[in-house]
Structure 1
């Protein structure tokens, strides 16, 4: 145990988990690589939990941060803030939500918390519909709508939460159905649920469940849900904290895979847009955003320095078509991973889209999750020079792969080869 690890344990909560038997101290990064305190170099396939979206130490972002820091770092929302207004204008346009208003926060948790505040105030209801296996943050309100028991430490809540089928395609009572029948069954479940509730405020859903193991429904499910929700006046909140900004390759936002009935009423974002800076936010049509009848501000949300970073990061992403790169390189990577895992009895499924890929591990010959195997592969991959993530609603048995969107074909091939060796070593 290192001295820093001992110091960490002495002052940190027991539930503040660290990866690896011998935790890493990352000291610097460049592009898609990071280095630890011992000088070891790693190919980063997790990006600080999908947060280093473009690249480590991206010159355009670091330059914007340095220049803004030399002017003014902080002012709060009580003053006009040019970078914040410019960023809000760009996000409002990109969101697809008509007459959009944007409120910035410091995290995805806070963004989802704000979305819940807006929806419950607008609908005058504390009932929330959420997806099974979901994750929406660590605040008191967001853990209460998280459908993943491993990340929801209390049942005490200001909200009444009801859970809907549909977030996991290959497990559960509808897993054996065709996509069309799966959607039909989930819609019937939603209709039945609404028949037993008074007045839900909103359905909150991740288009691809992040912590849940990169699971997703068939395209079109949330469009079918939207038709039902609209009849009942229930808002749709799309949690794009992990799926936004082109990571899925096919679409800029995850909700666009379900776009038949237009954009969500509320969209939340965070993580990648700041490329490591603390940025989150909420987009909603004006009628919903303006429904609060009390004062509200954000001390740190939309700060000049985080907005400068986000503007530079977003410009780089759009100018270099990183969504297209996620589609092309991600498509290659997922096929390569399916190839190298095809003969492994421990791999139940390789799934995902773009640069958002999950590998679900099970005990060979069964359908039983194997978190020990996932931990072993994580260790073996690290030894080979590759950093991965973990997740899954079934005891964290899913390897999560989400590298920066500038990943090259050569790096994708390298990472797949290391992962193949790690699976063999751990098996």
Structure 2
């Protein structure tokens, strides 16, 4: 299978592990490969299997809808799409909200950038250093992480702002209040350099960047500056949405003294693995497009049915609360087992979104080779985790389905402890 993969797919299409695995099926928080090995899944297909593998409520909704009609496009009224849009609009906190569905987070970013630049009449975008927003031409152009940006060409003019990483960079040694003040001053200076930008786009917790985040309240302080200059705020909730952080349903709510963002992008876990993304925005912004548009596959009846069933399950079972409780236990357990390991610089995160940063002992320098070795050792122990982190991939990313139990959290922590000590 690996040879066939290499023969027909791009060499830049990343695969985990020295000997890549093919997953055959999953149930709950576990998956199996085609050789019969079982793994506890602490990555959920890059935070996409949000509730559980083979969740009966979701698979049943998919089957029932597929038995009626699979596809229609947005040229026709679509009951599942309207119902899911109504629920997301209400949950967004954005007044007079409108929802546009896409097939991915990348496409959601594209849509948000189109809306913001058209509404403001400006091609300039502010983005955060160490950020990631997708793999399309426009989203790569605002990604502040060179490891995921294969070209310097872009249809946009992008300026990068400090603040997405609390414990590295020129402001790392400041107190939280002074850190925020310094980042706000940097933002003011950037905006003052020329024509006001269309928008600032930011992940409340940076995903690919290694689950880094600013102090709570930074984006509220940014918002005061943005509002004064008429600049929109786009919150990229592709990884932080739907209660994963435990403390909040949306990541932006850690910074919310000025209310919700102007636009919110979402994707990943909303349909528990089905291909759904989208944008929520105030009607005045969403309706500012004056050209015809449709979405052939965005809002597909089948994916919308999956999203409705998955969102209902998440809310009815308080999975945000479970992420807070079990995630809080897991992060403290991981901090305990890594306390004596000089190669672990930091365990950070919120809810079930946790990063373990690996460095060369005593230096603070990223160690991608050791990180990859821990990933391999965890797999050998029956645990799947992810990796990421800035320009050097040296952070283990832990983001299990939100139904994770305390016993499973303990099981995964034990495997990680063994893998870290072994490496």
When normalised by structure 1's length, the TM-score is: 0.99
CA deviations over 1:8-33 (Å, ceiling 9, x no partner): 00001010010000001000000000
Residues 369 and 394, structure 1, Cα contact 8 Å, conserved in 2: no
- The CA distance in 1 between the partners of 2:232 and 2:194, in whole Å, is 15
2:406 corresponding residue in structure 1: 409
1:378-417 equivalence runs, <5 A: 378-417=375-414
Q: Give the number of aligned pairs.
A: 423
1:9-408 equivalence runs, <5 A: 9-408=6-405
Structure 2, unaligned runs of 5 or more: none
CA deviations over 1:175-200 (Å, ceiling 9, x no partner): 00000000000000001111102120
- The CA distance in 1 between the partners of 2:398 and 2:230, in whole Å, is 37
Residues 275 and 310, structure 1, Cα contact 8 Å, conserved in 2: yes
- The CA distance in 2 between the partners of 1:268 and 1:204, in whole Å, is 10
Q: Give, in angstroms, the shift of residue 40 of structure 1.
A: 0.2
- The CA distance in 2 between the partners of 1:223 and 1:372, in whole Å, is 38
- The CA distance in 2 between the partners of 1:50 and 1:225, in whole Å, is 27
Residues 102 and 278, structure 2, Cα contact 8 Å, conserved in 1: yes
CA deviations over 1:342-371 (Å, ceiling 9, x no partner): 000100000000000000000011010000
Runs of 4+ in 1 over 6 A off after TM superposition: none
CA deviations over 1:262-306 (Å, ceiling 9, x no partner): 000000000000100000000000000000010010000010000
Secondary structure of the 1:70 match is helix
Residues 314 and 320, structure 2, Cα contact 8 Å, conserved in 1: yes
Q: Which of the residues 412, 417, 421 maps onto 1:420? A: 417
Structure 1, unaligned runs of 5 or more: none
- The CA distance in 1 between the partners of 2:149 and 2:244, in whole Å, is 26
- The CA distance in 1 between the partners of 2:299 and 2:178, in whole Å, is 44
Q: Give, in angstroms, the shift of residue 113 of structure 1.
A: 0.5
- The CA distance in 2 between the partners of 1:193 and 1:49, in whole Å, is 33
